[in-house]
């Protein structure tokens, strides 16, 4: 009766669990450090072995020679040469009948080149002009020194700004033609300094003489006495302007300066020595007939092609004459009444003198 005896016996209980809240003692843990192997014994090198090692180290430090790879520097751009054309290669623009000057005959001739050696034979100016940039620049300065007459009210600062080579300068060659005492000393000094045997007055009025004697008196006889005469007796408006280049491409703006028969003379200043190409002279359109005025009933003011009413037809590029410049082509002469002209759409020049 095991079950009965067990039930009668009292149960023995385990003593209660006592939990202590006292802080635990910190135990210091010592890291285990692996033992290092003992270093190998040093090798003893004799003098020859040390010398061989040093030589090998010096050989490794030597720089390799630069490779023969091509240079990555950009190549210098080729000098700019703009296209140009001969007069005979460009067709004549047929002026619409409603734009023609009434009763005026058709234009018989158009622009042509004149060589400096042709105008001043034996002076050597053509060769010097082609090869001596310093001469060309000196003559631009001489124009300002000999011919520019500022208003008396201008300050020194205004005069200096107006006579900079970067500023266009308008003067009068007619005043020199009318006064025989004006020798144009600055022109003469610039020419002499570069071995050219021309007097300053001779140089200036020789160029102006190309303005020629023309039909201005027939157009307006009452004003014939106003025209200055050169030493050769030729007539002209008497104006000269040094035109400076624009540093950008522009659109053509076709016009005539006065619209009356009269020769305009352009002396080109190329961008560098021995230049041959376009972009020096003004662009031109050869007209079949003289144009009627765009302002008023009579010529004498600027004729602006784009201002005709009704609007005129656009001028196609095939009619645009960009005269060539080069040795023997230093001067361009054209009749204002038989051409439209404009600043070149692209320029390549130091400057341009325009005589009228």
Domain ranges of the chain: 87-355
How many alpha carbons fall within 13 Å on the CB side of residue 298?
3
- Neighbour order of strands in the sheet with 255-256: 303-304, 255-256, 339-342, 283-286, 320-321
- How confident is the prediction along the chain (356 residues), in pLDDT tens digits per residue? 444 444 444 444 445 544 444 454 554 555 555 555 555 555 555 666 666 766 666 665 555 555 555 556 677 778 899 999 999 999 999 999 999 999 999 999 999 999 999 999 999 999 999 999 999 999 999 999 999 999 999 999 999 999 999 999 999 999 999 999 999 999 999 999 999 999 999 999 999 999 985 433 333 334 444 445 444 344 578 999 999 998 888 899 999 999 999 999 999 999 999 999 999 999 999 999 999 999 888 998 999 999 999 999 999 999 999 999 999 999 999 999 999 999 999 999 999 999 99
- What is the C-alpha separation between 67 and 320, in angstroms, rounded? 53
Residue 175's H or E segment, with its range, is: helix 174-178
CA-wise closest residue to 230 among 176, 149, 183, 172: 176
State the Cα–Cα distance between residues 208 and 190, nearest whole angstrom.
18
For residues 319, 334, 106, 213, the Cα torsion angle rounded to the nearest 10 degrees is 180
238 secondary structure, DSSP code: -
Supply 44's token pair.
């003893």
Q: What is the pTM of this model?
A: 0.75
Contact between 242 and 173 (Cβ < 8 Å): no
Q: How far apart are CA 180 and CA 273, in angstroms?
A: 34
> From start to end of 65-136, where are the E strands?
112-114
According to DSSP, the residues that pair with 278 across neighbouring strands are: 82
Task: Indicate the angle between helix axes 200-208 and 185-193, nearest 10 degrees.
Answer: 100
């Amino acid at each position: 009766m095991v079950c009965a005896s067990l039930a009668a016996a009292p149960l023995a209980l385990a003593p209660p669990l006592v939990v202590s809240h006292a802080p635990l003692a910190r135990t210091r843990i010592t890291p285990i450090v692996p033992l290092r192997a003992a270093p190998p014994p040093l090798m003893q090198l004799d003098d020859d072995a040390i010398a061989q090692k040093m030589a090998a180290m010096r050989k490794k430090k030597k720089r390799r020679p630069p490779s023969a790879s091509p240079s990555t520097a950009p190549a210098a751009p080729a000098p700019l040469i703009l296209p140009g054309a001969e007069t005979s290669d460009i067709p004549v623009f047929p002026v619409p009948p409603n734009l023609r000057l009434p009763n005026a005959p058709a234009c018989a001739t158009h622009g042509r080149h004149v060589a400096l050696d042709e105008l001043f034979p034996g002076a050597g100016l053509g060769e010097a002009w082609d090869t001596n940039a310093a001469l060309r620049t000196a003559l631009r300065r001489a124009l300002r020194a000999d011919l520019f007459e500022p208003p008396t009210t201008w300050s020194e600062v205004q005069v200096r700004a107006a006579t900079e080579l970067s500023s266009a300068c308008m003067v009068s060659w007619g005043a020199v033609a009318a006064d025989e005492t004006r020798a144009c000393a600055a022109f003469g000094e610039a020419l002499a300094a570069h071995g050219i045997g021309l007097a300053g007055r001779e140089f200036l009025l020789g160029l102006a003489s190309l303005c020629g004697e023309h039909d201005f008196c027939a157009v307006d006889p009452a004003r014939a006495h106003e025209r200055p005469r050169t030493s050769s007796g030729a007539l002209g408006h008497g104006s000269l302007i040094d035109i400076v280049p624009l540093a950008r491409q522009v659109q053509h703006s076709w016009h005539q300066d006065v619209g009356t028969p009269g020769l305009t003379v352009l002396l080109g200043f190329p961008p560098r020595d021995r230049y041959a190409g376009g972009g020096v002279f003004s662009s031109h359109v050869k007209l079949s007939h003289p144009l009627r005025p765009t302002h008023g009933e009579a010529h004498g003011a600027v004729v602006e092609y784009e201002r005709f009413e009704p609007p005129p037809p656009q001028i196609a590029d095939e009619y645009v004459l960009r005269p060539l410049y080069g040795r023997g082509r230093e001067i361009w002469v054209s009749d204002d009444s038989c051409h439209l002209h404009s600043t070149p759409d692209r320029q390549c020049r130091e400057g341009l003198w325009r005589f009228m």
